[in-house]
Amino acid sequence: MMPLFFSVLLAQATYYTPQEATELFNQANDAYYKQDYATAQKTYLKLVEHGQSGADVLYNLGTAYLATGDLGPAVLYLERAAQRSRADDIEAHLSLARAKQLDQVVGALSDEPFLQRVANAFNPDLLAVVFLVTWWLGLGLAAFTHRRPSGQRLVFGLVTLGSLVLAVASGALLANHVYVSQTVREAVVQPEVLKVLKGPSDGSPVAFEVHAGLKVRVVEEDGKYLRLKLPNGLDGWAEKEGVETL
Amino acid sequence: MAKTGSALALCLLSAATAFADVEFYQTADRTKVGTEDTFGLTIVVGDAPEGAQLQFPTPDEFEVLSRSQSTQMSYQMGGGGAGVIKRLQRYNLVLRAHKVGTLTIPASVLTAAGKTWKTQPLKIEVSKGRVAPDPRAQQQQKHPSIDSLFPGFPNFEDEDKTAFPDFPEPDIPRSDSDLFLKASLDKTEAYVGEQVTLTLVIFSRVDLSSVDAVNMPKLEGFWSEDLDTPTQLAPEQRMVGGVPYRAYLLRRRALFPVKAGTLTINAAEADITTGFLFNGHRVHRKANTLTLKVKPLPSNANGPQDVNVGQWRLSAEASQTNIKLGEPIQVKVTLEGKGNLRNLSPPALNGPSSVKIYEPTTTDKLSISGGLLGGKRIQEYVVLASQTGDFTLPGLSLPFFNPETGKHEESKTDPIVLHVAPSTTGATAMGIPSATPSLGDAIHKNRLEATGLKSLRHTASFVTPAPPLWSRPFFIPLALTPLVALLSWGFVGMLRNVVAPNSPAAQKKAKTKAARAKLSAAQKLLKSGKTTDFYAEVERAVLSFLEAELASNVVGLTRPALDEKLAAFGANETVRAQILRVLDTCDMGRYAPGMGDEKSRERAIDDAAAALGGFSAK
């Protein structure tokens, strides 16, 4: 009985009711409008820490950090908001943050590699539904067509072929999305200045410096160091504390 | 330590002279030096015999930083006879002591034709650090430069033409003396907000190919502005402790300390490539750390504490002072001088309540003069009077601290008096628009720019998004199910053929398949001219199919016998009639004329397919 009682208490302590969450959200918004950005940030963070971090909370939190010029957390929460829903206001604030960011990555063809851009262009749930429907339809029709007399196979054959082509295409896009989400780790630089070393050791010389708000890819991990890669191929090692993964 | 004892052959052009006339001695320009001082050792050889070899002293306690030589020839008239040519060879070495104490420079040795001459060894007293300024440098200062003797003559050592005239003579490091990096500040003490110039220079005695990377230190406690970042290496000749070096300016930055105390600037670092092409080597060099004592601004007893530092001049002017009601004017406030322009706090323009002064537009123009950062800040105010009359915009005042004089100063402007006459419509008062009016047109626009932060979201969904469909447990089984089912179906069929190839069901299936194949073959004959073959193939297809379905021979049966057999199998009347009609058509097609056209054949094959389909579905 006692463990159940404590688990109920714990559940209550770690989750706000929708009314409580809305009240906190409104308090944070009020603090923001009064330019009390520190209070606004703390209040939004409470919601995030309690797992109630929808795109709206993350967007407002990123905006509150952007208002104080803290580019590291601003970009981090705005990127997390963008992962949940692509919206104009999120993109506008991300652009604003990028304009203020100190680093200019020279020679980068695009902020994101091709596969990542393709993955971001499609809704994965929609792809999954299209794939399942066309896959079932295509294979079912294939079996059905096989049993039809030869004179009646043409129409069924064409529908089968169309379904299977659509299934393969949506399956490939879905596979790309799965691959990207499983292999690509992105992070945002948090401190004002982060020294990136040539190797994963304390005595390693500094390769270059990056600044708060820069989005990087994490390609390797070694002890307390992460190997970071910039869109132009420049890479080096930095301590884990220096970045927050998306 | 550089080798100094290597023998040097003296290739003398003069005729051999008597050994007794040889002049050979060595002198040092100082006898008391510090470990950080360099000093000169001169070895003089006069009228050396032909083939003479000079051996320099090899002092272990000294480091030879450079070596040079010069030759002097003179002609002396003899008493009534022929003159004598005298040749004097001087070898100049720049040395530096390794340790403290009374050290000895050994004798130099000259040998020729089996005879040896030796100079006297020299005693040098060495103490720690620096003892006295370099006499060679003093000597250079005492001698008037060629420029002062010949005004207007191009002076190659003109300080104004050097990129870093204030850079002090550095100490030559004990290691990497051929190539080293030095940073310097032009001041050791400064007030808060006063400009201090940081200069980073490479000193080299080797050929430089490129500077690949420069890591400037983090300038904590300073406001920093770039003064000079050369894109190409431009060498300047510099004497460092009597040793010639080529100096390359890497960076020059204006620093403005923002807090009082002793501030430290960490060492800058650079990756430098020496040599050319395949002889290139990349080396890493670290400069020295620097400290700066920053003094707080002295308190201003007569006025407010200054936040502006430098030398500034304030001016204000109005575009016109006699205006009509409704006509906006422009008041331009200009702040010009030396100092940190970006950190300036200029005074705001105020006026009486009848005059609306809008937020100014600010333009900054930085300039560098004599290595000092400065510039001009222009604030343009739009001013609009709301009623007629004379109004005064009070004069502006900018208090600042001048670090050169060490005093608080103030720059002021005169008041501006505006004479506002009634408008062309005769109005003597008007409402004031809240937004800035256009100067060229009294009708103003409400400018709406999509800049700055966008609105917050005022409602929120707190639901954490569900994981994507593809990661749910049911997804993979759901995707694999149809494929597995299809493969299983195919596999079971294959297995059945392998396990029981002659079972009635398998035979029936094979025959049915053969019948359908025959029908396909007939379809291929559809467009050929072989009418007999076509109908025979259709008939064979139908009979094969019936044999497979009825599991008995039907070839050779009469139509009534076949009909009876089909009825016994359970085929309904329509299907039976359809089958018999197809067989009759085939008989007619083979033997009766008029059945060879393509339409008849198409109809026959359609009927056959329909009959087989109807029998299967009975």
Q: Give the separation between CA B405 and CA B338, rounded to whole angstroms.
A: 13
Tell me the chain A residues in contact with residue B617 when contact means C-beta distances shorter than 8 Å.
none
- Closest residue in B to A87 (Cα–Cα): B457
Mean pLDDT of B579-598: 77
**Hey, what domains does chain B have and what are their CATH numbers?**
7-140 (2.60.40.10), 159-295 (2.60.40), 312-421 (2.60.40.740), 504-616 (1.20.120)
**What is the rounded end-to-end Cα distance, in angstroms, of chain B?**
112
| Residue of higher predicted confidence among B9 and B503 | B503
Neighbours of B186 (CB within 10 A): 20
Backbone angles phi, psi at B166, to 5 degrees: -90, 0
Euclidean distance between CA atoms A227 and A222, whole angstroms: 8
Does residue B327 surpass a pLDDT of 50? yes
Provide ipTM, 2 decimals.
0.75
Predicted pLDDT at A109: 57
**Chain B residue closest to A100 (CA)?**
B452
Q: Of the given ranges (B23-37, B308-322, B429-443), which has the lowest mean pLDDT?
A: B429-443
Cβ <8 Å between A66 and B453:
yes
pLDDT in tens, A84-129: 888 888 998 998 898 888 887 877 655 567 888 888 888 888 999 9
- Nearest CA among A233, A46, A58 for reference residue B464: A58
Measure CB to CB from residue A60 to each of B456, B475, B606 and give the nearest one: B456
What 3-state class would DSSP assign to B432?
coil
Q: Phi and psi (nearest 5°) for B359?
A: -55, 135
- Whether B306 shows a pLDDT value over 80: the answer reads no
Q: Is the pLDDT of residue A234 over 80?
A: yes
CB contact under 8 A, A174 and B470: yes
Distance from CA of B226 to the nearest CA of A (A): 16
Are B215 and A206 inside 8 Å of each other by CB?
Answer: yes
3-class SS letters over B115-145: EEEECCCEEEEEECCCCCCCHHHHHHHHCCC
Q: Do B462 and A16 touch (CB under 8 A)?
A: yes
A124 neighbourhood in chain B, CB within 8 Å: 468-470
* pLDDT attached to residue B415: 92
Q: How many beta-carbon contacts under 8 Å exist across A and B?
A: 94
Residues of B in contact with A51 (CB under 8 A): 464
Among candidates B218, B485, B520 on the partner chain, residue whose Cβ is nearest the Cβ of A150: B520
pLDDT digits (tens, 9 = 90+) for B13-64: 333 344 557 788 889 888 888 888 888 888 998 888 878 888 888 778 888 8
Work out the mean pLDDT of chain A and round it to a whole number: 85
- Is the pLDDT at B258 greater than 80? The verdict is yes
Contact B460 A84 (CB under 8 A): no
Dihedral class, residue A78 (left if φ above 0, else alpha if ψ from -120 to 50, else beta)? alpha
| Closest Cα in chain A, distance from residue B614 (Å) | 11
| Nearest residue in B to A142, CA atom | B486
From the options 3.30.1380.10, 1.10.287.3510, 1.25.40.10, 3.40.50.300, give the CATH code of A2-100.
1.25.40.10
Tell how far CA B124 is from the center of its chain: 52
Among the listed ranges A179-188, B88-97, B286-295, B303-312, which one has the minimum average pLDDT value?
A: B303-312
The string over A128-146, giving b where at least 16 C-beta atoms fall within 10 Å of a residue's C-beta and e elsewhere, is bebbbebbbbbbebbeebe
Residues 6+ apart with CB under 8 A from A176: A115, A118, A119
Residues of A in contact with B489 (CB under 8 A): 143
Looking at per-residue pLDDT, the higher value among B578 and B162 belongs to: B578
Give the residue, B299 or A111, on which the prediction is more confident.
Answer: B299
Token digits of residue B461: 């969904």
Give the tens place of pLDDT for each residue, B188-236: 899 988 999 999 999 998 888 888 888 888 888 888 888 888 877 888 8
Which region among A49-53, B299-303, B415-419, B471-475 has the lowest average model confidence (pLDDT)?
Answer: B299-303
Chain B residues close to A52, C-beta within 8 Å: 462-464
Question: Which pLDDT tens digit goes with each residue over B373-432?
Answer: 899 999 999 888 888 888 889 999 988 889 988 888 889 999 999 898 887 666 666 666
Position B64 scores a pLDDT of 81
List the single residue in A with minimal CA-CA distance to B460.
A56
Q: Which pLDDT belongs to residue B153?
A: 44
A169-177 average pLDDT score: 93
pLDDT at B130 over 70: yes
Give the pLDDT confidence score for residue B37 in this predicted structure: 83
> How distant is the Cα of B458 from the closest Cα of chain A, in angstroms?
7
Determine the residue among B462, B464, B471, B606 to mutate to test chain A binding: the one whose Cβ has the most chain A Cβ atoms within 10 Å. Answer: B462
From B489, which residue of chain A is nearest by alpha-carbon distance? A143
Contact assessment for residue B32 and residue B132, using Cβ atoms and an 8 Å cutoff = yes
Interface probe for B, chosen from A70, A90, A96, A132 (most Cβ of B below 10 Å), is: A132
Compute the mean pLDDT over every residue in chain B, rounded to the nearest whole number. 79
Provide, rounded to the nearest whole percent, the portion of chain A with pLDDT above 90: 45
CATH code linked to domain A185-245:
2.30.30.40
pLDDT digits (tens, 9 = 90+) for B532-553: 888 888 888 888 888 877 878 8
Of A47, A67, A136, the CB nearest to B482: A136
In this prediction, residue B529 carries a pLDDT of 65
Contact B457 A59 (CB under 8 A): yes
Kindly list the residues from chain A whose CB atom is less than 8 angstroms away from the CB atom of residue B483.
Answer: 135, 139
Average pLDDT over residues A136-162: 82
* Lowest pLDDT segment from A165-174, B125-134, B234-243, B510-519: B510-519
Q: What is the pLDDT of residue B47?
A: 80
pLDDT of residue B5: 40
Q: Is pLDDT at A200 greater than 60 in this prediction?
A: yes
Query: Which pLDDT score, from 0 to 100, does residue B18 have?
Result: 45
pLDDT category of residue B501 using cuts at 50, 70 and 90: low
Best mutation target among A25, A58, A129 (most B Cβ atoms within 10 Å) is A25
Give how far A33 is from chain B: nearest CA, Å.
Answer: 9
